[in-house]
Amino acid sequence: MSPTRAPATHTPLRFGYGTNGLADLRLDDALALLADLGYDGVGLTLDHMHLDPLAPDLSARTHRLARRLDALGLDVTVETGARYVLDPRRKHGPSLLDPDPDDRARRVGLLIRAVQVAADLGAHAVHCFSGITPAGTDTDTAWKRLAEALVPVLDASAIAGVPLAVEPEPGHLLATLADFHRLRRALDDPEHLGLTLDIGHCQCLEPLSPADCVRAAAPWLRHVQIEDMRRGIHEHLPLGDGEIDFPPVLSALAASGYQGLTVVELPRHSHAGPHFAELSLPFLHRAATTTAPTPQPAQPHGDPSATPEGSTTS
């Protein structure tokens, strides 16, 4: 039976689904599914099963993919949260914080390659994250490594005209919006440094509500990921299975003027990816067209410690 296409709506928001939640599908099958369901775009995680960034002929494969995306009417964000793309034994390793400069350089090289892929695809941003602070590394050293490692990536972003969107990730060095601003100041506020805001992470550990996080982050928003989540528990949940009140969040996002994709991120539900892709878009359309209450002054939740999954893609 063919998947059910979501009805058209008048929301200004544009929704996508992450390929890290469709890892059991061939990339072309995943893209066709999302187009059939009515998604506006895709969050493309560069990985061995979906546009392997380390395999030969990347440029030719990327240009073929660009034609396919255009034919399907899908926009794209490039994401770099593949679990074992650089090291088959270290999840998300090496990172930008690794003690070994050669290992850090491998991650930098991957991000620069991702910027070029994004430029070739016409993507609106490249997503990345800091990584977990290695054992034995003090915080100041970790921040210094992060800032220095991102300089050549931001140079590549400026040349390509594609913003780099750093994601605050529970359990990582850069875990919160406040941490993003620390990095931004350390780098002298470069034009091509932006923010990936994960709505679930806001519910998990930010002192503000998710809707208030959107308003606070609006000037720097370059990419948005969305899923449900519970306070203090870093577990990506299908929409409606957690604690997030979505209409105020999507109302704030629409009011912010954000023009990029809002991408559903359910990597641990990839075994049933087509099912959750089919459910998620109607949920978002309903939430986006539900009148949200008038926002009240932000009331911090407090700051309980989160239970980190330790990865941007879980």
Neighbouring residues of 185: CB distance < 8 A, sequence distance ≥ 6: none
Neighbouring residues of 116: CB distance < 8 A, sequence distance ≥ 6: 156, 160
Lookup result for tokens 């679990």: 83
Long-range contacts of 52-56 (CB under 8 A, 24+ apart): 52/85, 53/85, 53/110, 53/113, 53/114, 53/117, 54/85, 54/86
Which of 47, 111, 40, 20 has its CA nearest to residue 260? 40
Q: What is the mean pLDDT of the chain?
A: 91
Residue 131 backbone zone (phi > 0: left; psi -120 to 50: alpha; other: beta): left
- Three-state DSSP class for residue 226: strand
User: How would you classify the pairing of strands 193-198 and 164-166?
Assistant: parallel
Region 10-39: mean pLDDT is: 95
pLDDT surpassing 90 at residue 310: no
Region 187-194: mean pLDDT is: 97
What is the spatial distance between Cα 306 and Cα 134, in angstroms, rounded to a whole number?
A: 18
Region 14-21: mean pLDDT is: 98
141-163 residue pLDDT tens: 999 999 999 999 999 999 999 99
**What is the band of 311 on the pLDDT scale with cuts at 50, 70, 90?**
very low
Lookup result for tokens 């990347």: 58
pLDDT given for residue 271 in this prediction: 95
Contact (CB, 8 A) for 37 and 3: yes
pLDDT given for residue 100 in this prediction: 96
pTM of the model: 0.90
| H or E element in which residue 262 lies | strand 261-264
pLDDT given for residue 290 in this prediction: 87
What is the spatial distance between Cα 292 and Cα 132, in angstroms, rounded to a whole number?
A: 36
Which of 57, 34, 190, 222 has its CA nearest to residue 123? 222
| H or E element in which residue 236 lies | strand 233-237
Lookup result for tokens 């969305």: 226
Contact (CB, 8 A) for 49 and 82: no
| H or E element in which residue 225 lies | strand 221-226
pLDDT given for residue 131 in this prediction: 96
C-alpha distances (whole Å) from 40 to each of 34, 76, 138, 184 are 8, 9, 42, 30
Query: Tell me, what DSSP letter sits at residue 155?
Result: H
**What is the band of 308 on the pLDDT scale with cuts at 50, 70, 90?**
very low
pLDDT given for residue 5 in this prediction: 54
Region 4-13: mean pLDDT is: 60
Tokens of 88: 């088959």
What is the spatial distance between Cα 277 and Cα 128, in angstroms, rounded to a whole number?
A: 23
- Listed in order, strand segments (DSSP E) in 2-125 are 14-18, 41-45, 75-79
- Gyration radius (Cα) of the chain, Å: 18
Region 24-51: mean pLDDT is: 97
Residue 281 backbone zone (phi > 0: left; psi -120 to 50: alpha; other: beta): alpha
66-81 residue pLDDT tens: 999 999 999 999 999 9
Which of 120, 180, 115 has its CA nearest to residue 152? 115
227-241 residue pLDDT tens: 999 999 999 999 999
pLDDT surpassing 80 at residue 314: no
